Structure 1
Amino acid sequence: MGSTPSELEKDQLKKKLIAYDDFPRKFPSSLELS
């Protein structure tokens, strides 16, 4: 009820940013591939 679509989008963006921030640490070779 309290969460609007924009709030949900912000939450998903936060999770995406955190995942991307973790990515190079988990897969260093991915930097070479990209």
Structure 2
Amino acid sequence: MLEPLEPPPEHERRPVPQPEVKQQLRRTNSATF
């Protein structure tokens, strides 16, 4: 379990807005289903 105080380096390296991530996940789900 990663600590919330120390975010993963991947997220820090690739800062992606939450709304965009949600949209991408929704699109992937729609395509998969």
Q: TM-score, normalised by structure 2?
A: 0.51
Q: Report % sequence identity.
A: 5
C-alpha separation between the residues in 1 aligned to 2:22 and 2:30? 12
CA-atom RMSD, angstroms?
A: 0.7
- Runs of 4+ aligned structure 1 residues displaced above 6 Å come to none
Q: TM-score, normalised by structure 1?
A: 0.50
CA radius of gyration, larger in: 1
C-alpha separation between the residues in 2 aligned to 1:15 and 1:5? 15
Report the structure, 1 or 2, having the larger helix content: 1
Q: Note the residue ranges of structure 2 that are not aligned, 5 or more in a row.
A: 1-14
